[in-house]
Amino acid sequence: MTLEAALYLWFTQRRSLGEPISGPLLCEKALDFNKQLNGPPDFKASSGWLAKFKQRQGIRQLDVQGEMLSGDSAESFLKTFENITLDKQLSRDDVYNADETGINWRSLPRKSLASRNETRAPGYKVSKDRVTAMVCANASGTHSLPLLLIGKSKKPRCFKNVTCLPVIYRAQKSSWMTSNIFLDWYSNTFIPEVKKFRESQGKTGKVMLIIDNAPTHPDIDRMNGIDDNFTVMFLPPNVTALLQPMDQGVIAKMKKIYRKEVLRRLLLADRNDGLWLMQQSGSTVILMSMVTKSTMKTRQQ
């Protein structure tokens, strides 16, 4: 893969997640990719190179004004979805949705209550340590799958002496979702877990998984060829905030419960123990256990 192809793929993946990208950040990433690809040692990623790269790729600068929503695409998708569910006789138990989200698992709140004697509230350096979490459940809320958690380290220190994890853990150097990780989850977690649940409920028939069309998701034909009883359907572009089920409060509630539990453990613990807790990878254990519980609670409400 060439430098420009790798850089543009990275750019589109980050923009699909709604992250703002600046020119200097593109230049910095270009230098990083050039090093990884053993490119020319004199490559500078200058402002002139950046201008030509943006022109070649059709990249332009826009003011960040929130997500553009397409009502027409949403209406068209809903009609198509309704026809498919009627044709395949799918109930709410048979339709699943999965969605990823980033979690800055060591960040502390930016606001606090203060006494009348305090003139300011000194803060901490903002931690940008993050993991990717993917939640998945069916439309009726009767079945929630184990959380998929993606971190940077293959063997985090918090996993020492842990024999059973409450989540499916995968490692990736940027802690991002990749097509290989998603395909592995779909084949070896989603399909077996759903089959096991349906057998316990005496259910048969087709199952549908709805996901957004992020570049990190595998080709839909490849996934639909794995099992005849399982179908994957992509949401159309620009309608995630309107139609993505997990974005309708499930992910937000999950994060609130997690942060509340982190603060509760910090405040109720000894001060030294609490600071140590935030400094160690062991905080990931809280994330894994609490996010799993919060997802279950949210689906039941």
Q: Which of 58-72, 145-159, 230-244 has maximum average pLDDT? A: 145-159
Tens digits of residue pLDDT in 165-175? 888 999 998 88
Determine the Cα–Cα distance for residues 50 and 251; give it in Å rounded to an integer.
36
Please provide the size of the chain in residues: 301
H-only helix segments in the chain: 3-16, 23-36, 47-57, 71-88, 179-185, 191-201, 220-224, 240-243, 250-268, 271-279, 283-300
Q: Say yes or no: 178 and 202 in one domain.
A: yes
More confident residue, 79 or 121: 79
Determine the Cα–Cα distance for residues 180 and 178; give it in Å rounded to an integer.
5
| Angle at CA of residue 193, ends 103 and 74, nearest 5° | 60
* Pair type for strands 230-234 and 207-211: parallel
Q: Say yes or no: 75 and 52 in one domain.
A: no
More confident residue, 215 or 294: 215
Query: For position 293, what pLDDT does the model report?
Result: 46
Task: State the pLDDT confidence band at 132, using cuts at 50, 70 and 90.
Answer: very high
Query: For position 235, what pLDDT does the model report?
Result: 86
Q: Say yes or no: 162 and 252 in one domain.
A: yes
Residue with tokens 């606001």: 111
Query: For position 229, what pLDDT does the model report?
Result: 93
**Res. 47: pLDDT tops 70:** yes
Query: For position 123, what pLDDT does the model report?
Result: 64
* Pair type for strands 207-211 and 95-103: parallel
Determine the Cα–Cα distance for residues 265 and 273; give it in Å rounded to an integer.
10
Q: What is the mean pLDDT of residues 95-107?
A: 88
Q: What is the mean pLDDT of residues 57-81?
A: 69
Domain of residue 17, CATH code = 1.10.10.60
Residue type, 146: P
Q: Say yes or no: 142 and 290 in one domain.
A: yes
Name the pTM for this structure: 0.65
Q: Say yes or no: 47 and 143 in one domain.
A: no
**Token code pair at residue 10:** 């990275």
Q: What is the mean pLDDT of residues 184-200?
A: 95
**Res. 273: pLDDT tops 70:** no
Range of lowest pLDDT (25-39, 90-104, 129-143, 287-301): 287-301
65 assigned to some structural domain: no
Q: Give the torsion sign (CA, 261, 263, 268, 273).
A: positive
Query: For position 180, what pLDDT does the model report?
Result: 94
Mean of all residue pLDDT scores within the chain: 80
117 assigned to some structural domain: no
213 assigned to some structural domain: yes
Q: Say yes or no: 192 and 272 in one domain.
A: yes
66 assigned to some structural domain: no
Query: For position 290, what pLDDT does the model report?
Result: 45
Query: For position 298, what pLDDT does the model report?
Result: 43
Task: State the pLDDT confidence band at 207, using cuts at 50, 70 and 90.
Answer: very high
**Token code pair at residue 109:** 């709140």
**Res. 189: pLDDT tops 80:** yes
Contact (Cβ atoms closer than 8 angstroms) between residue 134 and residue 143: no
Percent of the chain surpassing pLDDT 70: 78
62 assigned to some structural domain: no
Q: Which of 13-17, 70-74, 101-105, 209-213 has maximum average pLDDT? A: 209-213
Q: Give the torsion sign (CA, 290, 292, 295, 297).
A: negative
Domain of residue 213, CATH code = 3.30.420
> What phi and psi values does residue 96 have, to the nearest 5 degrees?
-115, 155
**If you write DSSP's letter for every residue of 64-109 in order, what string do you get?**
-------HHHHHHHHHHHHHHHHHHT--GGGEEEEEEEEE-TTPPP
Determine the Cα–Cα distance for residues 251 and 255; give it in Å rounded to an integer.
6
- Crossing angle for the helix pair 283-300 and 250-268, to the nearest 10 degrees: 130
Determine the Cα–Cα distance for residues 258 and 226; give it in Å rounded to an integer.
35
Number of independent structural domains in the chain: 2
46 assigned to some structural domain: yes
**Domain coverage including residue 32:** 3-57
98 assigned to some structural domain: yes
Q: Say yes or no: 186 and 38 in one domain.
A: no
Q: Say yes or no: 219 and 250 in one domain.
A: yes
* Pair type for strands 148-151 and 131-138: antiparallel
**Res. 122: pLDDT tops 70:** no
> What phi and psi values does residue 172 have, to the nearest 5 degrees?
-150, 140
Going by C-alpha positions, the residue among 181, 171, 178 that lies closest to residue 151 is 171
Percent of the chain surpassing pLDDT 90: 28
Q: What is the mean pLDDT of residues 150-178?
A: 87
Q: What is the mean pLDDT of residues 269-286?
A: 48
Q: Say yes or no: 252 and 289 in one domain.
A: yes
Q: Say yes or no: 23 and 80 in one domain.
A: no
Residue type, 217: H
End position of a domain, from candidates 57, 80, 101: 57
Query: For position 284, what pLDDT does the model report?
Result: 47
Q: What is the mean pLDDT of residues 207-212?
A: 93
Q: Say yes or no: 234 and 273 in one domain.
A: yes
Q: Around 194, how many Cα atoms within 13 Å sit in the side-chain half-sphere?
A: 26
216 assigned to some structural domain: yes
**Res. 283: pLDDT tops 70:** no
**Res. 274: pLDDT tops 60:** no
Q: Say yes or no: 25 and 92 in one domain.
A: no
3-class DSSP assignment, residue 211: strand
> What phi and psi values does residue 137 have, to the nearest 5 degrees?
-160, 165
